[in-house]
Amino acid sequence: MCGIIGHVGQRESLPILMAGLRRLEYRGYDSAGVAVLNAGQLGVVKAVGKIKSLERSLQGQEIAGSIGIAHTRWATHGEPSVTNAHPHLDSDNEIALVHNGVIENYRTLKEFLSRSGIKFVSDTDTEVLTKLVKYHYTDSLTDAVRIALGQVEGTYGIAVVSSKHPETLVAARKGSPLVIGLGDDENFVASDVSAMIEHTNRVLYLEDGEIAEITPNDYRIITIENIPTDKAVEEVNWTLDEIEKQGYDHFMLKEIYEQPSTIRAAIRGRINLEEGIARLNGLNLQYDELRRIKRVIITACGTSWHSALIGEYMIEELARIPVEVEYASEFRYRSPVFDDHTLLLAISQSGETADTLAAMREARKHGVTSLGIVNVVGSTIARESDGGVYTHAGPEIGVASTKAFTSQVMVLSMIAILLGRMRNVSVQQGQELIGLMRQLPDQIEAILKTDDKIQEIAKAYHHHDNFLYLGRGINFPAALEGALKLKEISYIHAEGYPAAEMKHGPIALIDEKMPVVVIALKDPVYDKVMSNIEQVKARNGNVIAIASEGDTEIADKVNHVIYVPRTHRLLTPILSVLPLQLLAYHIAVMRGCNVDQPRNLAKSVTVE
C-alpha cells in the first residue's frame, strides 16, 4: 500500500527520502515520487514502477535541499502514471502534498474548486486535496491544511511542504498511519517506522484527527479543531538488522527461517509450565472476566484470517466456548449480534488493515471487549483495542506473511489454554500442551533442515498451473494458508479445501496436471484423509503429502512425502504450514517471480 516519508533538517533530504522509499518498497506500490524544496522552488520528480525507475529519472536533476516529501503509490483513483503519482502540486507549484488513503468526497470538492477556476491535471483525489489546501492558504501552511481537512470526508495520512515555508513540514492523519521521528537537528514523518529507523528510534504516533507541524528542532501537534495536544515520545526497540536481508536471497526466506526464534519470542515469559497456564497480562482481563466470556468472535483478513480459523478449533476444543470467525470486510457491513458476554479478537500483522480496524471499532461501539493480536507495536489496532497480545515476530517485510502467521497461531494457542484453564482444562492438560509448545522451535529447525527435499519437489512441479491443497480438522486452515502462499507469490491458481469436501466439486478437476498437496498427519482423521488420497490417486493425481514423522506406510501411497515432527494435534498447523511456505517460496523463485513484492499485492491494506 502507499508509503510516505518526509524530512526536515540540516542534511540533504533527497538521499534520506530515497532510502526511506526503498525501505517502504515492501508495502507494494506502482509508482513513486519525491519533492524537495530547492532554493525556494519545489523540485518534483515522479516515475511509474519501482524505485529504480525513480532513481533513473532523478539522474542529472539538481534537487538539493533540506526539506522534502516522498511517496510510493498503490493506485486507487486513476491508473499508475507519472501524472497520477504523488507528490501533487497546486497550480502555482507552491504546495506539494503526498497522501495515503481515499478522499471520498473528492468529486464534490473538485466541483467546488472548479467553480473558482481551478484546473486539474490528474485523476486523483490527492490533487484535489492539494489544491484545496492552496485555496485556503493565506499565511500559515498548518492552518490551510487544517481548514482543508475540515472539508474532507474519507481517510488520509498526508505530508505537505510549501515553498513559502522552507522549514515546516505539516502532517495529518485520519485512518492512515503516520509516525513522527525525532532526530538531532532534523525530524521525520513516515507511514511506517522502517522508513526512518536508520536515523532515529524516537517516535510519536499521530492519532486520527491530529495535525503535526514539524520543524528541524521542534514539533507541535494540534487537533483538527485547533486544540494543542501533548504526546509521549516512544522508543522503537527494533534495529536496522531486522529489516535487512542478512545474506538471504529474499526477505520471505529469511522470515521463514526466523520462525524458531519468533516462536520462542511469542511464548517468552508468557507460559508457566508448573501451573500449566499462559500469562497474558496485556489482555487487561481478570480471571473472573475471562470466565464470563460465552462467545468469541475472531475477525481478520488474509493470512490472519487463516490463523483465526485455527484459533477457532483451539478455543472451542479447550475452552468449549463457541467461536465465530469473520472476514473483517464482511463483518463490518452486517448487523452482527453482540451481547455482554462476547469477546472480540482482531488479528492483524500490521495492526493497520482498514477492514479489521473498522470491524474492531464496530464491536467496540457496541460495548464489546475487543482485543488485538498484533505484530506491529504502536499500530492503530494495538492502540485502540481494549487490550491484546503482541506476537513479537519482529518486522515482517515479505508481502506474503509467514513468521507472523505462526506467531499468531502461537498466541491463539496461549489464549485457548488460558480460557480453557479458566474452565475444564486441568493443570496436567495445560502442562502437556505447554511442554509441547516449548519443543516447537526445535521441531521447526528440524523441518527447515529438509528444505533441499522441498526444493526438489518444487522443481518437479513448478511448471504446473493449478494446485489443490487438502487438509482436515485444524489442518484445513493450514491447507488454505498453503494455497494462499502459492497463489500470492507464484501466481499459480491454488485452492485450499477440506479433504473430504473434495468429492463435492474439486475432484472433477483432478488429473495428472493438478498436483494435490495433502496434510495427512497421524491424528483421528488420518484414515479418512488416506482414503481421500486414494480418490486422488485413482484419478491419476500426483500427491505431495505432509506426514507425521515415523509414518512409513504413507510413502507407498503418494508421490512425495515431507515429514514433520509429532506434537499435540492442536499445535500441528504450526509445523504443517512450514513445508507449505517453503514449497510456495521455491516454486515462485523457480518461476522467476518477485517473491517479496508480488504483483498487485500490498503488505498492509489501509484502504477498503
- Residues of this chain that bind ligand G6P (CB under 6 A): 301-304, 348-350, 353, 356, 399-401, 601-605
How many residues comprise the chain? 608
**For ligand G6P, the closer CB: 57 or 356:** 356
Long-range contacts, stretch 118-124, CB < 8 angstroms, 24+ apart: 118/91, 119/91, 121/83, 122/78, 122/83, 122/84, 122/88, 123/77, 123/78, 123/79, 123/83, 123/84, 124/77, 124/78, 124/84, 124/86, 124/88
Task: Please give the backbone phi and psi of residue 514, each rounded to the nearest 5 degrees, phi first.
Answer: -115, 90
Residue holding cell 506500490? 29
Least distance from ligand G6P to the Cβ atom of residue 307, Å:
9
**For ligand G6P, the closer CB: 577 or 602:** 602
Which residue among 2, 46, 301, 403 is the active-site one? 2
593 is catalytic: no
The three cell numbers locating residue 300: 481478520
Which residue among 131, 174, 254, 603 is the active-site one? 603
Q: What is the DSSP letter of 206?
A: P
Distance CA 381, CA 383 (A): 5
Edge to edge, the sheet with strand 323-327 lists 323-327, 295-300, 342-348, 369-374, 387-390
Vertex 153 angle, CA 151 and 158, to 5°: 85
Distance CA 184, CA 211 (A): 22
**For ligand G6P, the closer CB: 36 or 582:** 582
**For ligand G6P, the closer CB: 148 or 400:** 400
Distance CA 323, CA 344 (A): 10
Edge to edge, the sheet with strand 95-100 lists 88-89, 95-100, 156-162, 165-174, 210-215, 218-223
Distance CA 519, CA 531 (A): 13
Least distance from ligand G6P to the Cβ atom of residue 405, Å:
8
**For ligand G6P, the closer CB: 301 or 584:** 301
Least distance from ligand G6P to the Cβ atom of residue 93, Å:
36
Least distance from ligand G6P to the Cβ atom of residue 330, Å:
14
**For ligand G6P, the closer CB: 125 or 352:** 352
Least distance from ligand G6P to the Cβ atom of residue 604, Å:
5
Helices then strands, counting H and E runs in the chain, come out as 18, 26
Q: What is the DSSP string of 35-76?
A: EEEETTEEEEEEEESSHHHHHHHHTT-----SEEEEEEE--S
**For ligand G6P, the closer CB: 407 or 475:** 407
**For ligand G6P, the closer CB: 38 or 348:** 348
Q: Which residues of 574-603 are buried (b: 16+ CB within 10 A; e: fewer)?
A: bbbbbbbbbbbbbbbbeeebebbbbeebbb
**For ligand G6P, the closer CB: 191 or 604:** 604
603 is catalytic: yes
Least distance from ligand G6P to the Cβ atom of residue 476, Å:
18
Distance CA 13, CA 64 (A): 7
Q: Distance of CA 90 to CAs 160, 162, 195, Å?
A: 11, 10, 26
Q: What is the DSSP letter of 550?
A: T
Least distance from ligand G6P to the Cβ atom of residue 388, Å:
13
Q: Distance of CA 595 to CAs 21, 29, 50, 133, 598, Å?
A: 19, 14, 15, 39, 6
**For ligand G6P, the closer CB: 66 or 604:** 604
Residue facing ligand G6P at closest CB distance: 302
Distance CA 454, CA 352 (A): 34
Distance CA 180, CA 220 (A): 11
Residue holding cell 512450514? 578
Q: What is the DSSP letter of 295?
A: E
* Pairing label, strands 516-520, 493-498: unpaired
Q: What is the DSSP string of 96-139?
A: EEEEES-BTTHHHHHHHHHTTT----SS-HHHHHHHHHHHH-SS
Least distance from ligand G6P to the Cβ atom of residue 439, Å:
27
The three cell numbers locating residue 594: 518477485
**For ligand G6P, the closer CB: 24 or 518:** 24
Q: Distance of CA 4 to CAs 139, 178, 189, 196, Å?
A: 25, 8, 8, 11
Least distance from ligand G6P to the Cβ atom of residue 40, Å:
41
Least distance from ligand G6P to the Cβ atom of residue 504, Å:
27
For residue 210, give the H/E element and its range: strand 210-215
Least distance from ligand G6P to the Cβ atom of residue 300, Å:
6
**For ligand G6P, the closer CB: 43 or 482:** 482
Report the catalytic residues: 2, 603
